[in-house]
Chain A
């Protein structure tokens, strides 16, 4: 594996499978009375969040703590970030404090890439969501969740539905799922698809009803109502009617098919409450799988295959 996790597209099939297998081991830990591993003792993981995201930050924090790392949360509110300190100065400060890994959430696409390729920090950079670019750990936890229910994802068919244009979750999922050999169909109104999507390793459809009977899982993306003001669609109600997942549509799915959502949900907008709470919905499970997946990411980046890091690790790779 690379020193950083910036894009799901950087992962080879072997990398991705190693991560998912490792996550499986990590998940088994949560069934034990002592849920902690000593692996990252003495290592420092910084959660650098330029954008509010309580659930992702808590998930990373818990993952690092279960690996015995020291965790520092650096959030935009109540720190120098809200006073306008630059990404560069923040990174230099964290570097001076000896961060081994920086988990970064930023509103600007490419900010983690910038951090990783600058001289501002030497630690591993984990992209925890950047602008409208990518969210690779979300894609990993989604794949992990689907794999637990469906087995190997090779040859499986996943629909990703909604605001693909602005969704970092959609980008990372399209890349990772195709690396794992799954077929992806993006379903969206044409206004919410990026220009050039025909070059992505996916199918595209405007018709949700036609796609649902053919898929093994459907992933509903959060749609922000304010997109309506920018004329991406006429009204929230029309969006729901054409692209929302309600009970009638859910019943078009094959019996074994799963319903996923990266959260937070707009109940009544892209997904109805009865579908969100249905038996085939794995939305809550996605959250708990997030911790195991992020443990696997931190574990492999900090004590795994990266030789530069392994060399000065007194405990060596475990």
Chain B
């Protein structure tokens, strides 16, 4: 197996040093590393972070290979600095059996761009009627630990209670898409001053917050582990903060877009900005940033949601929900959190690698950059800037909300098990 000597990288933003990667692990760190027979990678000025772990990725395969495949989606992941992604279950067929999760897992191994950890559906067909075979998915080769009906809320309180109880035997976690269905029938955008003006049906914050509050109470009652997908409101942050203060085992994620963009973008009626949960107010963005900074929110998760052109090139109401996120995540987090002084690079590593790996029980990822640890890491140039061009994406889809925007930073290299998946910014 080949060796790489990374010269002059700033580990978590600290003073420059050298890293020797050999046989899939970090073999040496320091200025006196013996470079014998290693390929040298000049990393002066670059920040080294552990490989990023995404808890929330839509790879669309099987079923919507026109939007994304496991191969194209993980290529985008590698370009974004991710070494592990959780593939959401809302495929066609739904990932609600051991067969489907194993297929997705195997496709990820074959593509080799990043580790793919399939998420299993909580209920059969995401229909919210009866539990899927969670145990079979957990015991399959895919080793599923995260279960979610993402895209649909497990709104039935009894079913949610049972799911929370059942996954305790699997060391699993239920990742809830918190959306009270009756309060959001036909909803199009954040309910606030603007929804009334634009005549787009409002999506009240309470629809998210009421489910989060209920599920925190349920998780506490049955002593299980709960993860909240893509929190988007200031109220949600407050509820999660309260639940954590009680010592309950509740974790939460926020998307990059909810850290940067606001509902004002709906004024364009351009459905590139249509997403579930919707973009919220500037006050919500502020609260989400603070929540991520104080670790009330544990993780940044992309909710990378590819859609073919025709599903966005239409009127708002007819368009699909969702936006790309893998390739721009680190840049957006830099802009929203690092450049604002809310997080340092160690904090970024914690929220984008260490904590999501623990939540998803992803072995070998999210580990410290230390001798003997798996060589999963990303080299990132925070001083670069670039204009986001949809055509430059490795994804099969083009629905990035950042098109034309100048964002800081650039992923220079990504290493998965000691092997570069991205080098000089290009896929390997």
Cβ distance A175 to chain B, nearest Cβ, rounded Å: 9
Cβ distance B217 to chain A, nearest Cβ, rounded Å: 27
Contact A132-B315, Cβ < 8 Å, known A114-B270, A195-B192: no
Tell me the bound Cα distance from A114 to B317 in angstroms.
11
Interface positions, chain B 4-55, Cβ under 8 Å from A, are: none
**A109 & B200 in contact (Cβ 8 Å cutoff):** yes
Cβ distance A73 to chain B, nearest Cβ, rounded Å: 20
Interface positions, chain B 309-335, Cβ under 8 Å from A, are: 310, 313-318
Tell me the bound Cα distance from A110 to B317 in angstroms.
9
Which of B194, B201, B268, B317 is A196 in contact with, Cβ under 8 Å? B194
Cβ distance B43 to chain A, nearest Cβ, rounded Å: 43
List the B side residues contacting A165 at CB < 8 Å. 196
**A113 interfacial contact with B, CB 8 Å:** yes
List the A side residues contacting B192 at CB < 8 Å. 195-196
Interface string of A119-134 (1 = CB under 8 A from B): 0000000000011111
**B169 interfacial contact with A, CB 8 Å:** no
List the B side residues contacting A114 at CB < 8 Å. 269-270, 314-316
Cβ distance B310 to chain A, nearest Cβ, rounded Å: 7
Which of B191, B199, B310, B314 is A132 in contact with, Cβ under 8 Å? B199
Tell me the bound Cα distance from A87 to B202 in angstroms.
23
**B314 & A88 in contact (Cβ 8 Å cutoff):** yes
**A110 & B198 in contact (Cβ 8 Å cutoff):** yes
**A37 interfacial contact with B, CB 8 Å:** no
Which of B194, B197, B268, B318 is A108 in contact with, Cβ under 8 Å? B318
Cβ distance B260 to chain A, nearest Cβ, rounded Å: 23
Contact A110-B193, Cβ < 8 Å, known A88-B314, A131-B199, A132-B199: no
Contact A194-B195, Cβ < 8 Å, known A114-B269, A117-B268, A132-B201: yes
Which of A87, A134, A197, A199 is B315 in contact with, Cβ under 8 Å? A87
Interface residues on A, range: 20 to 34
List the A side residues contacting B269 at CB < 8 Å. 109-111, 113-114, 117
**B315 & A195 in contact (Cβ 8 Å cutoff):** no
Contact A133-B196, Cβ < 8 Å, known A109-B316, A109-B317: no
Interface string of B171-206 (1 = CB under 8 A from A): 000000000000000001001111111111110100
Tell me the bound Cα distance from A103 to B294 in angstroms.
52
Interface positions, chain B 211-257, Cβ under 8 Å from A, are: none
Cβ distance A70 to chain B, nearest Cβ, rounded Å: 27
List the B side residues contacting A197 at CB < 8 Å. 196
Tell me the bound Cα distance from A117 to B269 in angstroms.
9
Cβ distance A135 to chain B, nearest Cβ, rounded Å: 10
List the B side residues contacting A168 at CB < 8 Å. 199
**A27 interfacial contact with B, CB 8 Å:** no
Interface positions, chain B 252-298, Cβ under 8 Å from A, are: 268-270
Tell me the bound Cα distance from A130 to B315 in angstroms.
11
Cβ distance A8 to chain B, nearest Cβ, rounded Å: 12
Contact A108-B316, Cβ < 8 Å, known A114-B270, A117-B268, A195-B202: yes
Contact A131-B197, Cβ < 8 Å, known A86-B310, A117-B268, A195-B192: no
**A222 interfacial contact with B, CB 8 Å:** no
List the B side residues contacting A117 at CB < 8 Å. 268-270
**A294 interfacial contact with B, CB 8 Å:** no
List the B side residues contacting A65 at CB < 8 Å. none
**A106 & B193 in contact (Cβ 8 Å cutoff):** no
**B316 & A195 in contact (Cβ 8 Å cutoff):** no
Tell me the bound Cα distance from A232 to B310 in angstroms.
35
List the A side residues contacting B270 at CB < 8 Å. 114, 117
**A105 interfacial contact with B, CB 8 Å:** no
**B193 & A195 in contact (Cβ 8 Å cutoff):** yes
Which of B188, B197, B317 is A171 in contact with, Cβ under 8 Å? B197
Which of B196, B313, B318 is A194 in contact with, Cβ under 8 Å? B196
Interface string of A167-205 (1 = CB under 8 A from B): 010010000000000000000000000111101100000
**B199 & A196 in contact (Cβ 8 Å cutoff):** no
**B199 & A199 in contact (Cβ 8 Å cutoff):** no
Contact A134-B193, Cβ < 8 Å, known A110-B316, A114-B270, A117-B268: no
Q: Interface residues, chain B, CB within 8 Å of chain A?
A: 188, 191-202, 204, 268-270, 310, 313-318
Given contacts A109-B317, A114-B314, 16 further A-B contacts (CB under 8 A): A86-B310, A86-B318, A87-B315, A106-B315, A107-B317, A108-B315, A108-B318, A109-B198, A114-B269, A132-B199, A133-B198, A194-B195, A195-B191, A195-B195, A196-B193, A196-B197
**4 tightest Cβ-Cβ pairs between the two chains A and B:** A194-B196, A133-B199, A110-B269, A196-B193
Q: List 27 A-B contacts (CB under 8 A).
A: A86-B313, A86-B314, A86-B318, A87-B314, A87-B315, A106-B315, A108-B317, A110-B198, A110-B269, A110-B315, A110-B316, A111-B315, A114-B270, A114-B316, A130-B199, A131-B199, A132-B200, A132-B201, A133-B198, A133-B199, A168-B199, A194-B196, A194-B202, A195-B202, A195-B204, A196-B194, A199-B193
